[in-house]
A and B are shown apart, each in its own frame.
Chain A
């Protein structure tokens, strides 16, 4: 039993490297470069910082990746995080309710917006890009309106600990990230729902003929994505001790970049949690490393844009090769 288990582990690890060697080597090259040219890149404090930045991106990326596996997209993330953060802080600051209700409100708001996205996408047939882009605008507007244009601040220590505290040297947000990644792994690899997600993304018609309730799957994916955005908003608010309507601008770009870097195809039907982790790490390392090297942060936007195009193009070449084989 032990032997077969370890054999399985060896095989799985080998498979992982074989599948992801491209981006893994990119990650290693980047880390090497930054540790040579940027001071302190490899220091313990910086590593903790790095992981902390990765965490918030990762929450969104988990949802966005699921949407991309369905051959869709979710652009609501950043704006929804802002709205959830504002609502969360308002709940206990302005209404005087306990902290945990604020956290719940933030997450449930994410769930609600995700549900609306899912229902519209499923029952109107409007492309997810359009629906979630519009929803992004709605959420951003609502966040400014509710917060009256300025940050809703809090001095509550308990709440800020939710985003800034740590267990030993590991920050809470990183622990949340690990938990979510494990749940995501089980969803995609060990559950029927996960297989159904891959099936619907691979071919909606074939999935329907296989008896899969495709509407249910679609709604579920955008709901998960909404919940993750809501959670992201709460963590951001806790870290900043305020719900800021302007926060999370462009976060969806990072989430998409992490997904496509991790080998999730825009054609749908493919994408792994293992790949996503590397994608998230690469995006994190780029921001962190360039900051250490004192590169103007605006360059990061330019660089991420280039990375998305390159990664998607690489995926298209791969698809073409596959289609030619078939």
Chain B
């Protein structure tokens, strides 16, 4: 095609243990807005990172305006006219708009940086994105939407032809979204090609000319948005063959152990209610940022709860406090093992015993035998591979760290175990081991709540599933009704029953 701007073909990228991109592809034309969709982990951002020079691909071809190019780093990518606007904006908050636009390329008069000259030069770029603000304004004082515009203006100063927007609306207000959309349409009419990564169906139909779907790092299809509907997109995004390393023996669930009623906490948790039963694995699915972790942290008393009720075995807990909840047998295994979960510079023994010090430390006396029995029990019951309990956690692999984290919370002998993304970033072998452990725990009568953004994981491991979207629980599904289409509909706001 004559006005072809970008073509990426057969892009392969492997990270240790994961094939992130497996023959991914995308084509973009001048004056086109191309949506890029796929589940969490489908490889959307990785593909764009390959184009942006953040993670150069292992193999594959990239053509820009028909010419084959090699991109090894961000600089080469920028020189080719690619501008990547990341979800987290990369502006210096204490510098002015003009200074940010020309960061690293400051304009000088007689060897001195000239603010006036930069402000003057920034003007046209700002007008192109419709930003009518003094270029000498400090960036930190702008709204997020305006900051995004500054980033786009900055990319013009670098002569960008291809603009990549990674979920640009995720932290914008409705008005700001409208402004952004108008700007993007305007840029399209100026002949730019725009890749628009999004999770929101509505945005695709409202804004994009076409949409490319990815699944498991592979190119699925490109559809013209005028000729397709939501169901077409969803069925392309899911429908993968599910791995067979899930271990699950379903049992009859017992009585309700933990119940949450109308929980409100901050911006991320609105009117959420659910219950967890003995011997049952309750899945909690939702896209990243839906408020899943925040809901559980509010229930544990880790974050303040604005209103709502938490019931344990039918009894109301007035003000949940982490220590109290732990004593009552509720354990939360947090998502980030490196920051929230473990103290990496300390030993396995220190970490495993941290929540249960009261079991062996009393009145300035340490019961060494009890301590070592807790440690060895923790290490053996889930077979942690480490030279000894006295090695520091930063020497362990991700999978083993995850197991230490599990052992740490299992040492509290919980009745309700909340697992936040328990297999994130660990290899397939360790995943299978973790699944076995989770299954055994449910069999032993624990109520397990499994938070995950990996759909196959929740579908295969849970008995029942609740789905969160934008701070709310939008749906609850029984195992017999599980289907990827249905789950995605709830998660993306196409449907609601909660």
Contact = CB atoms under 8 A, between A and B. Distances in A.
A269 B395 contact: no
B407 to A, nearest CB: 13
A190 B322 contact: no
A209 interface: yes
B343 A199 contact: yes
A126 interface: no
Contacts of A267: 345
B394 A209 contact: no
Contacts of A270: 345
Interface in B356-386: 357-358, 361, 364-366
A325 interface: yes
Contact of A211 (B322, B346, B366, B395): B322
B302 A322 contact: no
Interface residues of A, number: 27
A286 interface: no
B346 A198 contact: yes
A205 B343 CA distance: 9
A127 interface: no
A323 B355 CA distance: 25
Nearest to A207: B343
Interface string B389-420: 00011110000000000001000000000000
A210 B345 contact: no
Interface string A287-323: 0000000000000000000000000000000000011
Contact of A322 (B325, B343, B361, B392): B392
Interface stretch (B31-39, B67-75, B333-341, B439-447): B333-341
Contacts of A190: 361, 364-366
Closest 5 CB pairs of A and B: A326-B394, A202-B343, A211-B322, A192-B357, A211-B323
Interface of B: 302, 322-323, 325-326, 332, 334, 339-346, 350, 353-355, 357-358, 361, 364-366, 392-395, 408
Interface of A: 186, 189-192, 195-196, 198-199, 202-203, 205-213, 267, 269-270, 322-323, 325-326
Given A209-B302, A323-B394, 19 more contacts: A186-B364, A189-B366, A190-B366, A192-B358, A195-B350, A195-B354, A198-B346, A198-B350, A199-B343, A199-B350, A202-B343, A203-B342, A203-B344, A205-B339, A206-B341, A211-B355, A212-B354, A269-B343, A326-B392
17 contacts: A191-B361, A195-B354, A198-B343, A198-B346, A202-B343, A202-B345, A203-B339, A203-B344, A208-B322, A209-B340, A209-B341, A210-B322, A213-B323, A322-B345, A322-B392, A325-B395, A326-B392
